Amino acid sequence: MKKILVALLAIFLVTTGCGKKASENIMKDFTAKVNDTNSYTLKGNMEIYADEETFTYSIEVDFLKEKYYKVAMVNQTNNHEQIILRNQDAVYVITPSLNKSFKFQSDWPDNSSQAYLLKAIVSDMNNDANSTVEEVDGDFVVKSNVNYPNNPELKYQKVTLDKDKNIKKNEIYDEKDNLKMKVTFMSVDYKASLKESDFDLDEYIKEMPKTNTDNCTGESCKNNAPCEGDTCQDKSTGSIENILYPLYIPSNTYLEKSDKVSTDYGDRVILTFGGDKNFVLVEEKATSSEEFEVIPVYGDPLIVSDTIGALGANSLTWTKDNISYYLAGSDLTTVELVSIGESIGYNNQTVSKEK
């Protein structure tokens, strides 16, 4: 009888998990693998799930101790590329197609969880005293809480490691266990030969395609407008045919008025919302700069659905589908700013002007 009980206990331990000591060793080994590297490069794919839409990026990350990062994200639907660059000077969000960059004095990426950065993943694992490890089909799945101040619905991550403690994927869930984000790691090189100059903004700018008429392969540009890829950007025809309205608006808030004004670069739409939560939304055609432009902002980089924007204390700025958006409201919380921004563009909903 005792032999049967011992056998059943052994089966129970094998099938229900790795045991506390084994769990600690798995996280310890992965932590050491990440912390012991001086520099790494990784490639992968990231999927963001928003209602019925899925936004997919290809991702390439370069890291050099202690604070150097370069994260290149390419939207796989429209091939739109943006780069988050952190060096000794600042944090930049670069949009090559517009020949522009936001410049932040920011604690990014240390001020939030980051599903695609190894140090952030390890930090979340070790900061949660209740992290668990489960063996699934020969892999180890580490579950731990996450910290996304600008998106509090994200509650925990599941990190899948192979038997050699190499990361395979990271899945982020909300409190209702809905999958909201998934990063699949295709390759990780822990012995990358990177140096500080690889993260220098000036050197990077030299490698960017120039936005002048000589690079255009399509029709000749009018009015000496700059090129974007193989097409010309005609600043004189920046019309906005369809105004996009947010699907999410805080309670007791309504559209007061909609104004369209003409600028040197085309139309600018100004939507003014009133009620309990006053805010303004500005929409205009995105135009590229002839010389590389650095725009100082206060705040942090933030993924807004399928693009990277700039989140300030009371504002959110981003570009989507060749439209630049500026959202501002001192009455809005950060979560409300992000919710409004992410709800724009799913469809052209008409907003009631009535109180």
Q: Which of 283, 308, 282 is nearest to 297 (CA)?
A: 308
Please give the full DSSP string across 156-222, using - where no structure is assigned: EEEEEE-TT--EEEEEEEETT--EEEEEEEEEEETB----GGGG-HHHHHHHSPP-SGGG--SSPPS
- The residue with tokens 């005293």 is 129
Structure tokens at 138: 């020969």
Q: Which residues pair with 228 in a beta bridge?
A: 231
Write out pLDDT tens, residues 14-50. 444 455 556 668 999 999 999 999 999 999 999 999 8
Write out pLDDT tens, residues 66-93. 899 999 999 998 899 999 999 999 999 9
Residues in the chain: 355
Q: Which residues pair with 58 in a beta bridge?
A: 45, 74
Amino acid 63: pLDDT: 98
Q: Which of 324, 339, 239 is nearest to 279 (CA)?
A: 339
Q: Taking 80 as the threshold, does the pLDDT of residue 230 lie above it?
A: no
The CATH homologous superfamily for domain 17-189 is Lipoprotein localisation LolA/LolB/LppX (2.50.20.10)
If one looks up domain 236-342 in CATH, what number appears? 3.30.200.100
Amino acid 66: pLDDT: 84
Angstrom distance (rounded) from CA 328 to CA 312: 9
Amino acid 218: pLDDT: 46
Higher pLDDT, 8 or 346: 346
Phi, psi angles (nearest 5°) of residue 23: -60, -45
Q: Where are the domains of the chain?
A: 17-189, 236-342
- Alpha carbon distances (Å) from 254 to 43, 258, 280, 325: 44, 12, 11, 19
pLDDT, mean of residues 300-308: 90
Residue 279's CB is within 10 A of a number of other CB atoms, namely 24
